[in-house]
Structure 1
Amino acid sequence: MKYREFGRTGRSVSEIGFGAWAIGGSWGDVSEADARAALNAALDAGTTFIDTADIYGDGRSERIIADVLKARGGERPFVATKTGRRLSPHASEGYNKDNLTSFVDRSLENLATDCLDLVQLHCPPTEVYYRPDVFEALESLIKVGKIRNYGVSVEKVEEGLKAIEYPGVASIQIIYNIFRQRPADLFFREAKRRGVAVIVRVPLASGLLTGKMNAQTTFAADDHRAFNRNGEAFDKGETFSGVPYDVALQVVEDIRRLVPGDVTMAQFALRWILMNEAVSTVIPGAKNADQANANALGSSIGEISPSTMEELKAIYENRIAPHVHQLW
């Protein structure tokens, strides 16, 4: 495992982190035993960055993380959580000091810690980015010692650019993968210039970029890949990166021919993300130990050649961009 600086926080983190959405919910049934095994495997492989959220399994993900870390002992990895999606309705006015404090207190309890490494606003309504009082509330949580850093998980490039105008924003979490290349156009450059860490989520386009899906693949009723294809539950771009499933399957076959024989397509897709030096860490999910171990290997495979990178860019521009580029 290789490591990178996490923006201006003074911390370094593993290039491959652990995305803990799958062990919380909305990815089909994942037993607690498998969830624990997946997280332990990632940590054994050198992962030092864990990303979760208070809403994943209504706190289940956070509590599993706390239990695993307690059982392991030793130096605690960097644990990031997210907040805001517990609001109902999920509206801008709910992002206030009282609610944010209450949510943070709950995450402190779930994660069994007295200070959170990083709290991220969880894809808030666009209006929130234009409310300095929200970011002042986060500053107040730093002052009282409940959080060390704060950031924002965004849906759109424009939201990321707006968020990093606030000097206290330490990190931005954003979707970036072979099917979602727009962040590299401007956002990454601006984030790097300002010393803002970049956390990449949905790196495998909800599993499409593993190359293991086909037209007959089925998903459990409680898997967002079954119930959110058209944005029925949350932003459409979170599921298959917003790419129509049939189009994506065709393009996966174009990508497959570029993958070296000694690596998996998933590892290749993770390495593609890490080719951009603005990326601090990438957070694939894992439902079991085998997936976690395979993900971790994405840090150790060789660089992708410039010619292959150009081919992947052309595939995106010609086949995928018309469906997603200007939307997110």
Structure 2
Amino acid sequence: MKQRKLGQDGPIVSAVGYGAMSFTDFYGPADDANAPRVLDACLEMGITHLDTSNAYGMGRSETVIGDWLRARGGASPFTIATKVGITRDPEHRFNNAPEHLAEQLDASLKRLGVEAIDLYYVHRRDTRHEIEAVTETMAGFVKAGKIKAIGYSEIAPSSLRRAHAVHPIAAVQSEYSLSTRAPELGLKQACAEIGASLVAFSPVGRALLTDRPHSLERAQKLPFLTNNPRFMEPNISSNLAYNAKFCALAADMGVAAATLAIAWVLHQGDEVIAIPGTRHITHLEEVAKGGALDLSAEDIVRIEAVLPLGWAHGDRYSAAQWVGPERYC
């Protein structure tokens, strides 16, 4: 497993982390009893970075991780990131007010059962609060010893630079994969410029870059994908046709499609860390192998020949799902 520095001053983590949204019902019913097996397997495979949020199952993901840590009875073997800022308030879906951030931080610390959170993200920006003021609040948590580093999720390069001028930003989380390459239009460069990690979520394209992509029938049973443009007709049929070509290439190269997709993401720069999520050990093994696979220039040419820039049909989000992330291109 390749190792990467998380932010300007460490710590060193596995290049492939684990996205713990999978411990909730986001992509269908989750089984809490399976979570410990997945966390055990992560350690066995050399995965040392966990990514969660207080919004994942409204604390459920953090609780599952905390219960596993308490059962071990020792220091956490993982570098843990969690997030804050998404609420259930229909009038204000995002809240970056200082009192809200502080209250939710204490709740996350309690659920996780740790003294300090390694990386604390603002999950979504609340435009009622300037990013400089929000960063000052987060910097106060660092000074208080409650968090070790600050991150932002789904922000624009301009916002990243504004925040970093107030306090070092260790990481920015954004969707990044062979099917979603928008971070290449400024965000990846801004992260490299200031020394922040670009933490790529959905690095296998919500299964479009795997050997077991979702069918239209399956996608319609998953709440997030039901109205997602890439998983609706006519887009899904076109995307599955591209998937078939990518899977054939991966097989010709002797690896699983998910392995190849992860290796491609990590090849894009030393600042990139991938956080795929899954409930299945077999799939976890596939993505973990991507963290050890080196690709040649010829390999990259072959991959981008079957999945050329802009190949994906449909937007990555529906209009409703686009509320919150900052568009910058």
Instruction: State the 1:165 CA deviation.
Output: 4.9
1:117-169 superposed Cα distances (whole Å, 9 cap, x missing partner): 111011324665x4311111111111222111111011656655655454432
Instruction: Note if contact 1:150-1:169 (Cα within 8 Å) is conserved in structure 2.
Output: yes
Does 2:102 match 1:101? yes
Shift in CA distance, 206/92, structure 1 to aligned 2, threshold 3 Å: closer
Q: Which residue of 2 aligns with 1:204?
A: 204
1:305-324 to structure 2, matched below 5 A, reads: 305-313=296-304, 315-317=307-309, 319-320=311-312
CA distance in 1 between partners of 2:139 and 2:287 (Å): 34
Q: Which residue of 1 aligns with 2:291?
A: 299
Instruction: State the 1:11 CA deviation.
Output: 0.7
CA distance in 1 between partners of 2:91 and 2:206 (Å): 24
CA distance in 2 between partners of 1:255 and 1:67 (Å): 39
1:144-195 superposed Cα distances (whole Å, 9 cap, x missing partner): 2211111101165665565545443211011110011232343222211211
TM-score between both structures, scaled by the size of structure 1 = 0.85
Matched to 1:110, the amino acid is R
CA distance in 1 between partners of 2:94 and 2:53 (Å): 20
Instruction: Note if contact 1:15-1:274 (Cα within 8 Å) is conserved in structure 2.
Output: yes
Q: Which residue of 2 aligns with 1:84?
A: 85
> What's the C-alpha RMSD, in Å, of the aligned pairs?
2.8
Instruction: Note if contact 1:28-1:222 (Cα within 8 Å) is conserved in structure 2.
Output: yes
Q: Which residue of 1 aligns with 2:241?
A: 250
Shift in CA distance, 319/75, structure 1 to aligned 2, threshold 3 Å: closer
Instruction: State the 1:42 CA deviation.
Output: 0.9
Matched to 1:108, the amino acid is L
Q: Which residue of 2 aligns with 1:50?
A: 50
CA distance in 1 between partners of 2:161 and 2:217 (Å): 37
CA distance in 2 between partners of 1:306 and 1:45 (Å): 27
CA distance in 2 between partners of 1:213 and 1:114 (Å): 39
Instruction: State the 1:275 CA deviation.
Output: 0.5
TM-score between both structures, scaled by the size of structure 2 = 0.85
Does 2:220 match 1:229? no
1:199-228 superposed Cα distances (whole Å, 9 cap, x missing partner): 1101011111113126454147454223x4
Instruction: Note if contact 1:179-1:316 (Cα within 8 Å) is conserved in structure 2.
Output: no
Q: Which residue of 2 aligns with 1:236?
A: none
Instruction: State the 1:293 CA deviation.
Output: 2.5
Shift in CA distance, 157/210, structure 1 to aligned 2, threshold 3 Å: farther
Instruction: Note if contact 2:66-2:113 (Cα within 8 Å) is conserved in structure 1.
Output: yes
Unaligned runs of 5+ in 1: 231-238
CA distance in 2 between partners of 1:218 and 1:87 (Å): 27
| SS across alignment from 2:209 | helix
Instruction: State the 1:261 CA deviation.
Output: 4.2
Instruction: State the 1:13 CA deviation.
Output: 0.3
Instruction: Note if contact 1:198-1:278 (Cα within 8 Å) is conserved in structure 2.
Output: no
Shift in CA distance, 292/244, structure 1 to aligned 2, threshold 3 Å: same
Give the number of equivalent residue pairs.
315
Higher relative contact order (CA 8 A, sep 6+): 1
Does 2:173 match 1:173? yes
CA distance in 1 between partners of 2:109 and 2:91 (Å): 22
| SS across alignment from 1:257 | helix
Q: Which residue of 2 aligns with 1:38?
A: 38
CA distance in 2 between partners of 1:214 and 1:75 (Å): 34
Shift in CA distance, 321/157, structure 1 to aligned 2, threshold 3 Å: farther
Instruction: Note if contact 2:8-2:196 (Cα within 8 Å) is conserved in structure 1.
Output: yes
Matched to 1:77, the amino acid is F
CA distance in 2 between partners of 1:69 and 1:290 (Å): 23
Q: Which residue of 1 aligns with 2:8?
A: 8
CA distance in 2 between partners of 1:94 and 1:311 (Å): 44
Unaligned runs of 5+ in 2: 317-326
CA distance in 2 between partners of 1:133 and 1:159 (Å): 12
Q: Which residue of 2 aligns with 1:233?
A: none
Q: Which residue of 1 aligns with 2:213?
A: 213
Matched to 2:240, the amino acid is L
Matched to 2:299, the amino acid is T
1:64-112 superposed Cα distances (whole Å, 9 cap, x missing partner): 1112223333553100001111251474883111000011011011100
Shift in CA distance, 268/100, structure 1 to aligned 2, threshold 3 Å: same
| SS across alignment from 2:120 | strand
| SS across alignment from 1:22 | helix
Q: Which residue of 2 aligns with 1:269?
A: 261
| SS across alignment from 2:284 | helix
Shift in CA distance, 77/90, structure 1 to aligned 2, threshold 3 Å: farther
| SS across alignment from 1:199 | strand
Shift in CA distance, 224/93, structure 1 to aligned 2, threshold 3 Å: closer
| SS across alignment from 1:123 | coil
Q: Which residue of 2 aligns with 1:121?
A: 122
CA distance in 2 between partners of 1:52 and 1:27 (Å): 15
